[in-house]
Amino acid sequence: MSRSHVLRSRELALCQIDTSPFSPDQAEIILRYGAPVGSRLEYHGQLDRCMGRLQELMGAAEQKKQTLAAGTVVVAETLTRSMGRFARSWHAPAGGAWLAMAWPDTLLPEFARLLPFAVGLACCRAVRAVGVTADLKWVNDILVAGKKIGGILCQTVLSPGGERFHLLGMGINGNNTVFPDELVPVATCLSEELGARVDVSSFIGHLLAELSWSIGLLHYDEQLSLGQQTDRARSFPFVMQSWLAYCDSLGRRVEYGFDVQETPMYQALVLGVDPCGGLQMELDDGSLITESSGEIRYL
């Protein structure tokens, strides 16, 4: 894996990205919004956490009276202290794609809330691009035949100087075929699914290209909303339309909880997802509920 290989792969992938159903002019606007993705790329053999390194970079930039470049990406071959939500441990040995990106908080809140969907969309499309049929479980778990192949951690942080950034952490199991015992039944990786090793640098390059597209799409949605070029109030943002095309949660019976592993709250049937990303479910008594946070487990 190398930095230059990642960047070359990103450029190649940007030329091949699926921009349907948009016109060339629209696609150009979308990709222009997403252009800062990977504007600066730092590559490490080993790190504690990619997000931690981004926070260090924020502080260092501000000490020089600068701001961290939008779209700065940190990639590491292995992570020693990686973690998921609720401080869950995240297994990140050599062979996987472990990265995080800093994106300045310039989106309006109603679009910033869709960032986790945009990142999930990018990861899912990148996995599919290498030939593995992945699906999205609300909000952004990436599954292959029910097994987790990747995860995303989104946090919004304040830099020491008070600037807000979204930190978007992504982990995709690549050639790391050995998992801790408790994860063996529920985890998989690209090489296991493909029956061959994957070029992780090339995969990360492709993922960055997909991030340019999906985050660009989110900014394009915001532009349309602000310009009121269409009646956006009643239609789905494009990023959510795209996300829905990859989501397999609809019609599934699920268990819901804020932290569903530790404290499952109830079981329900998934009816749909609203334009704000809220999960619409029907409870056993027939009543409807919409959740805007938390997680689900398929039953």
Nearer to another protein, 1 or 37 (CB): 37
Q: How far is the CB of 187 from another protein (least distance, A)?
A: 19
Q: Tell me the closest approach of the beta carbon of residue 124 to another protein, in angstroms.
A: 15
Comparing CA positions, the residue from 245, 298, 297 lying closest to residue 273 is 245
Answer for which of 155, 225, 267, 280 binds another protein (CB under 8 A) is 155
Residue 229 binds another protein (CB under 8 A): no
Binding mask 21-40 for another protein (x = CB under 8 A): --------------------
Specify the stretch interacting with another protein by CB under 8 A; choose among 3-11, 22-30, 31-39, 286-294.
286-294
Of 73, 103, 72, which is closest to residue 165 (Cα–Cα)? 103
Nearer to another protein, 117 or 238 (CB): 117
- Token digits of residue 13: 């992938």
The yes or no reply on residue 234 touching another protein (CB under 8 A) is yes
Q: Is residue 113 close enough to count as binding another protein by CB under 8 A?
A: yes
The whole-angstrom separation of Cα 142 and Cα 88 is 17
In whole angstroms, how close is the CB of 105 to another protein at the nearest point? Answer: 9
- The Cα–Cα gap between 190 and 149 comes to 7
Q: Please identify which residue in the block is written with the tokens 């290989």.
A: 5
Strand 72-79 with 41-47, pairing: parallel
Site string for another protein, 135-154 (x = CB under 8 A): ----xx-----------x-x
Q: Does 212 bind another protein (CB under 8 A)?
A: no
Q: Does 15 bind another protein (CB under 8 A)?
A: no
Rounded CA-CA distance 238/214 in Å is 9
Site for another protein in 114-133 (CB under 8 A): 114-117
Phi and psi torsions of 287, nearest 5°:
-80, 155
By CB under 8 A, residue 294 contacts another protein: yes
- Euclidean distance between CA atoms 295 and 86, whole angstroms: 12
Cis peptide bond upstream of 24, omega within 30? no
Nearer to another protein among residue 236 and residue 258 (C-beta): 258
Q: How far is the CB of 4 from another protein (least distance, A)?
A: 32
Helices (H), the chain: 3-16, 24-34, 50-63, 109-112, 115-129, 190-194, 200-227, 238-246
The one-letter amino acid code at 66 reads Q
Q: What are the residues binding another protein (CB under 8 A)?
A: 85, 87, 109, 112-117, 139-140, 152, 154-158, 166, 231, 233-234, 258-259, 263, 265-266, 277, 283, 287-289, 291-295
